[in-house]
Amino acid sequence: MAIAKHTYSPIQIYKRLLSISGRYWPVFLGVAASASLFAATDAGFAYLVATLTEIVEAGSNLTERQEFIKQWLPLAVLLLFASRGVCNFLSNYGMGWLARITVKELRGRVFEHYLELPTSFFDHSSSGQLLSKLTYDVNQVAQAASNVVIVLFKDSLTILFLVLYMLYLSPALSVFVFIVAPIIALIVRFLSNVFRRHNKKIQTSVGDITRIGEEALQANKIIKVFSGQSYESSRFDAANERNRRTELRLLVTKSAGDAVTVFVTAFGVAGVIYLINKIDIDVSRVAGFITAMVMLMGPLKRLTNVNATIQSAIAAGESLFSIIDTPKEIDTGQFNPDTIKGSVNFKNIQFGYENVKEQVLTDINIHVSPGESLAIVGRSGSGKSTLVSLLPRFYDPEAGEILIDDHSTTEFSLSGLRKHISLVNQEVTLFNDTIAANIAYGSLANASEDAIRSSAEAANVTEFTKQMPDGLNTVVGDRGVLLSGGQRQRISIARALLKNSPILILDEATSALDTQSERHIQAALDKLMQNRTTFVIAHRLSTIEKVDRIIVMDAGRIIETGRHEELLAAGGAYAALYRLQFRDDNASKSA
């Protein structure tokens, strides 16, 4: 499953963003109030200029009103600018607060959603792209949320007040404002489409940069040994350059938009100046009018720029909501037993991966009794891992069903199913925490120290933590890089021991161990497998001689079933595999 393809209208995106921040409406109200007051101060300033001109023009024959105004004008200017400053601060702070809370909640929702998306989703998405959504996209929304509302609110109100004042001063002169305004609106509309396109490209290019960067950091040893530096550099360079170009194109569009808007506005001003000569009008009115008109430019310019921000917010919002709208893992079952006996029955299973034509599993029928251990062997790519991944429902079969204690796995709730299953994988990812916390992970977090210690001992973890000053409380490095593959596998085995669940899956659980450590751990694993339904996929056949039953898989089908001795005696695929490994083992021993 890939990211759901959705198209959202800008309105839908804003509505959804509002649904997140909407419950903080009192803050919204505060922002609206302070922004409106702020907007009024601009018209107030134009009024003061008109009044001042009137007084200067009147010279010494002032009326009583004019005398009064003249006295209080300096104080009025001070008050005007003081309240302007306060309103500006309040509206910016309030909006910033709203933006940050929206970001926090949105980011939280996306992350929560990541945790509940089906495995197939991650098969089809690059983690770099998914990570950049949590950082870059979310921030785009934040910026937009604050800038846009502030600018839209403050500036459009400022424009409204200024225009009203201009109409009051001279309807005739205002004609120009009404000619210029629609032209600006048209320019803005055209620009917003361009912005939107650029912003999508920028998002993709940031995702590419993160992805390539991430891969290079993770694979730094491979890059060194296989001299991949120039390949990585050129790949990174291409993405980096793509990002620079689109950013630059956006900048050009933004700046050109500014310039054009200013130019169009200048037309209006020129027209007004031309008209002043034709009509009969007070100087003070002209002064007020021109002041208001010049003050109009700033907000108008910002209004065209805000579009770029709106468009990036929409593009980013789209990218985030398409994650949130991607369906979660299907979890319709209700069955949640406290204990299970642990019989597992694969019935007529057919399976193929999404977007892959070939069938991966065909006609799989296996019945495993409670406590029985089953080994699955076969060439790599024969479907062993796929088969066991159906049990915890990482994927659902296309046909057939899997029964646990005679209940279909789909009857269980996902957590009700998975709490009875332990898994040790070939690839062990550790969390950046102490070794003890890595063993007592998730639902095991409440395990007692004694329990953690004894599972660590059984899995031979203590053997290497003994030498560490903090023992089990040593913090593993980022992604566990300070531990060897074998040590990480032992931690993962300790985790399974601690979980103590009735069903156990060991998928090449000891592949990173040398023969000697494997033999050490084999004892622990044998103990672990006792009285537990176990599926063990082993690369070394010597480790599965004692299991109750072995199935041999080839190209997604079960081709042989039986005990070790039976299969050897039958002289089929298993016997051939065994002879091959036996000979290799002997060869390496004598070498």
Ligand X SMILES: Nc1ncnc2c1ncn2[C@@H]1O[C@H](COP(=O)(O)OP(=O)(O)O)[C@@H](O)[C@H]1O
- 425/498 Cα distance (integer angstroms): 16
- 490/118 Cα distance (integer angstroms): 27
For ligand X, the closer of residues 18 and 555 by Cβ is: 555
Maximal C-alpha separation, the chain: 125
Count the site residues for Mg ion by CB under 5 A: 1
Contact 444/495 with Cβ under 8 angstroms?
yes
Q: Tally the C-alpha atoms within 13 A of residue 517's C-alpha that lie toward its C-beta.
A: 19
**Positions 246 through 285 that interact with ligand X (CB under 6 A):** none
Smallest separation, CB 580 to ligand X (Å):
17
- 440/447 Cα distance (integer angstroms): 6
- Letters for 93-132 (x = contact with ligand X by CB under 6 A, - = none) are ------------------------------x---------
| Triad 387, 393, 398: Cα angle to 5° | 65
For Mg ion, the closer of residues 42 and 508 by Cβ is: 508
Tokens of 161: 């007040």
Among 335, 353, 394, 578, binds ligand X (CB under 6 A): 353
Smallest separation, CB 427 to ligand X (Å):
12
Contact 537/375 with Cβ under 8 angstroms?
yes
Smallest separation, CB 380 to Mg ion (Å):
7
Pick the stretch among 25-33, 154-162, 313-321, 352-360 that binds ligand X (CB under 6 A). 352-360
- Letters for 375-414 (x = contact with ligand X by CB under 6 A, - = none) are ---x-xxxxxxx----------------------------
- 487/527 Cα distance (integer angstroms): 19
Smallest separation, CB 505 to ligand X (Å):
12
Among 356, 445, 587, 591, binds ligand X (CB under 6 A): 356
123 binds, among Mg ion, ligand X, none (CB under 5 to 8 A by kind): ligand X
492 binds, among Mg ion, ligand X, none (CB under 5 to 8 A by kind): none
- Letters for 549-568 (x = contact with Mg ion by CB under 5 A, - = none) are --------------------
Any contact of residue 386 with Mg ion (CB under 5 A)? Answer: no
Any contact of residue 419 with ligand X (CB under 6 A)? Answer: no
Which candidate, 383, 385, 413, 374, places its Cα nearest to that of 503?
374
**DSSP string covering 289-350, please?**
HHHHHHHHHHHHHHHHHHHHHHHHHHHHHHHHHHHHTS--------B--S-----EEEEEEE
Residue 333 backbone dihedrals phi, psi, to 5 degrees: -70, 155
Any contact of residue 357 with ligand X (CB under 6 A)? Answer: no
Rounded to the nearest 10°, the torsion over CA 503, 504, 505, 511 is -170
Among 385, 422, 460, 462, binds Mg ion (CB under 5 A): 385
Smallest separation, CB 388 to ligand X (Å):
8
For ligand X, the closer of residues 382 and 492 by Cβ is: 382
360 binds, among Mg ion, ligand X, none (CB under 5 to 8 A by kind): ligand X
- 55/62 Cα distance (integer angstroms): 7
Strand partners, 423: 505
Alpha helices by DSSP H, 59-135: 64-116, 119-123, 127-132
Using CB under 6 A, list all residues that contact ligand X: 123, 353, 356, 360, 378, 380-386
Using CB under 5 A, list all residues that contact Mg ion: 385
